[in-house]
Structure formats: C-alpha cells, structure tokens
Amino acid sequence: MDRVLIVDDEKSLLLSLEAGLTDYHDRFTLFTAENGKDALEILESKRIDLVVTDLRMPVMDGFELLAKLASDFPSIPAMVMTAYATPESQRKIQDLNNIRIIEKPVDFDELTQAILENLEIINRGGSITGISLPNFMDLIEKEEKTCLLEILKNTKSIGLLFFNKGQIWDAVCGKTNGEAAVFNLLAKEDVQISFRNLPKKKIKRRINANLISLLLESARRIDEENDTETQEAISDQKDAKNNEVNTGGDEDPGEAEPVVPLSTKGEEKMSQIEEVLEKFRDVEGFQAVGVFSPQGEMVSQVNASGLEIAELGALANDVLLKAQKATEIMGVGRGQLVHVEAPKAHLIARCLNEATDFAANSEGRAHIHMVLAISKEGNLAMGKMKLASIIQELAQYFR
C-alpha cells in the first residue's frame, strides 16, 4: 500500500486531515510530521511514496526539506502547501518539474484529489520528481527568503549562494565570486542543494543583476556551448554520408537511414510510421517532415522537396530545446512548439513527451520531436493542425 507523509506545523490541520483521510485508508497509509526535522526522521525509517509539505515551519522549514528530498531521497515526489503564495510564486513552484502547490487554507477535496492523482502517476511508473538549481533559486526569490545555499556535486562542496530577502547577493565557486561564480554553478549538472547557517558577519553584495537575467544569461552560455557540440556532430554526420556516397554503393542518397533504433521491432513498424507521415502530402505546400529523437537523431522522414531534412531537423530540434528551456525559466511552462518563418519556407518543430516530467524520458511513454517544412505560400494552419494530430498518432510506436 502507498504511504503519504504530510508535514505542517499546524496541529489542528494535521488532526483534521488525519480524520478526513480515514475514508482512504484502503488507498494509502498516512504519516504526519510537524516540521522538516521530524519528517526526515520518518523518511529515514520508513518507506514513503509521496511527501506533502508546508513551506514555512519552525526547526526545519519546507525549503530545506525540499532540498533534502532532492539530494537524499530523489525518488520521492513532493507537493507543497503554503498560505504565502502569490500567483507568480504559485506558477514558479509548479514549474519545479511539476511540484503541485496547494494553497492554504487547504481545500480538503483539492488536496485529496492531488494526492490520489500523484499516487496514480507514481504507480504507473511516471516521474514527478527533480528540483533543478535554477528553479530552486527562483523559488527562494519569490518567497523572499534569506539563506546561504551550499552547492555540492558527488557529495563534495563546489560553491555557495547567498540570498538576502530573496535577492541573489553573492556567490562563490572555486576561485570565482559574484556573477562569474553563479554562471559556473549553474553550468554544473546533477548537483545537490544544502542549507548552511547564516554567517555572523555581514556579507558584502557583489551581485547587482536580478536573478532572471542571470538565469537567462546562463542558459544562453550553456546553449552556446551545446551549439558547438551540435555543429561538430552534424559535420561528422555529413562527412560520414559523403564517404558512403563516394564508395559507389547502390543506396539512394535521397533517403537517409534512421540513426535511432525504434522501440518496436521489425520493418513493419517502420513502414507504418512512414505510412502515417505520408498524410502530410495532402497539405498544400508540403516540403518535408521528419521524426526525431529528443537528441535530434532522425528516425524517419517523408521528403517531397530534396531538403536535407536530417541536418535541418537537428538544427530545428536544437532551437526547440532552447525555447523549452527559456519558457521554463520565465515561468510560463515548458513550450511544445516553435515556428520559424524563413524567406522561402515555414519550419515548425513540435515536441510530444508523455512523461509527467517533461524534461526527461519515462519508460513506456513516448518522447519524440517532429519537424515540418511548408513552403511560404503553403497552408500553414492546416500544417500545424496535421502536425498536432499526427504526432499523437505516432506516439504508439515509441512507447
């Protein structure tokens, strides 16, 4: 049976929830704690499937508990309850890779429904965990928290971030400090977050830029570095293709071989995918369409124009990933479609990810990208409608 831990310093709320949730004793077992410290003791001694926590509590608050969950219990998803959430901070908390927020005073039916929905996702094998450093920093800003964060990688301390009433104040990473240290820390992957005691001495402010500008600049720098790697990969792919052509083989150079093995077996599935893609030929001005992995590797294509759809798709795929990252940072949710209007054609890149955590893959759930090229005079509206329906139709072949 599933186990749910609710953490809140209001004893009356915990008692009322315990009484109300007895009707669901056949669905899950309920545990309660009055602060983050007590919650950690339960987490260390019992198997817990879902944590529901308040943010502002004595002894150890919800921020520190969330950080502990991310570093020490990464497989346990969390929900947040708070009476202090503004509409903006609600959106930001929800953007922490789908952490659900419940506004206080708690609506019992809403909380119950949210718990049951999350447990259902967990039992289906979906992922609703994972707190990134940028989103955690953004949450601190919105809640106007003063704190000192220690950033660790592989349990080793690599830097510090200091916030004063929610504003990023200073940072240290190795021999760098200030903004340079922020960029160095944000460039690290798979980091852990820990809270340090505030220093007695006043910390001098060395960062005057606002947090959102730092996050966007960091994303730009990371993307710029990834661009170089993408271009090198494309160049290698073109060289390999040229070498194949120069060997005088009998293969048709106009048809690219799929680089990604399908999750389904046999040529029959490939034929079915191509048959679905053929439906795009009905769109006025259709030029080409390709199905790609999230890494930009082509799976299949239909090409009516001779466009280098494999190369074009890899670049459009990169633009889509950048746009998704930017919309996530801005707090408007993860974007699913990018439309580029070029002088001679419209390029539309679309993502479908059935996983609950839209930034990751989940076994048994489709995660594919599609790139569609339509001539400047073509039926753009019909192309977008067809893309939205066909990407759903193709999902069955990638689960």
Give pLDDT, residue 96. Answer: 44
Instruction: Return the half-sphere exposure (C-beta side, CA atoms, 13 A cut-off) of residue 136.
Output: 27
Look up residue 145 and give its two tokens.
Answer: 């928290």
Q: 2-128 belongs to which homologous superfamily? A: Response regulator (3.40.50.2300)
Q: Which tokens belong to 170?
A: 């200073």
Domain extents in the chain: 2-128, 146-214, 258-398
Q: What is the pLDDT of residues 169-211, one digit of tens each?
A: 999 999 999 999 999 999 988 788 888 888 888 889 999 998 8
Give the model's pLDDT for residue 229: 58
DSSP H helices in 247-266 = none
CA distance 239 to 228: 17
Residues 318-343: tens digit of each pLDDT = 777 777 777 766 666 667 888 888 88
> For residue 3, which phi and psi values (nearest 5 degrees)?
-130, 130
Q: What is the Cα–Cα distance from 169 to 153, expressed in whole angstroms?
A: 22
What is the rounded distance in angstroms from the CA atom of residue 192 to the CA atom of residue 73? Answer: 11
Q: Decide if 283 contacts 380 (C-beta within 8 A).
A: no
What's the confidence (pLDDT) of residue 293?
A: 82
Closest CA to 297 of 277, 317, 278: 317
* CATH (one of 3.30.450.30, 3.40.630.10, 1.10.10.10, 3.90.420.10) for 258-398: 3.30.450.30
CA 324/CA 338 separation, integer angstroms:
9
Equal fold, 2-128 vs 258-398: no
Closest CA to 80 of 61, 27, 362, 162: 61
Burial (0-12, 13-18, 19+ Cβ within 10 Å), 259 = middle
Which one, of 61, 49, 51, lies nearest residue 9 by Cα?
61
CA terminus-to-terminus distance, the chain: 27
How far out from the chain centre does Cα 372 lie? 24
The beta-carbon contacts of 161-165 under 8 Å, at least 24 apart in sequence, are 161/137, 161/185, 162/203, 163/137, 164/203, 164/205
pLDDT at 150: 92
Helix (H, G, I), strand (E, B) or coil at 342: coil
Residue 159: the pLDDT is 95
Distance in angstroms (rounded) separating the CA atoms of residues 170 and 118:
37
Looking at residue 56, the DSSP 8-state letter turns out to be S
Q: Which of 131, 25, 14, 7 lies closest to 68 in space, CA to CA?
A: 131
Query: In the 8-state DSSP scheme, what is residue 17?
Result: H
The three-state (H, E, C) secondary structure of 151-220, written as one string: EEECCEEEEEEEEECCEEEEEEECCEEHHHHHHHHHCCCCCEEEEECCCCCCCCCCCCCCHHHHHHHHHH
Can you give the pLDDT at residue 267? 67
The neighbouring-strand residues paired with 31 are: 5
Ranges of the chain whose pLDDT falls below 50: 92, 95-98, 126-129, 248-266
What pLDDT, on the 0 to 100 scale, is given for residue 134? 83
Task: Identify the CA nearest to 127 among candidates 92, 80, 81, 75.
Answer: 75
Q: What are phi and psi of 178, to 5 degrees?
A: 65, -145
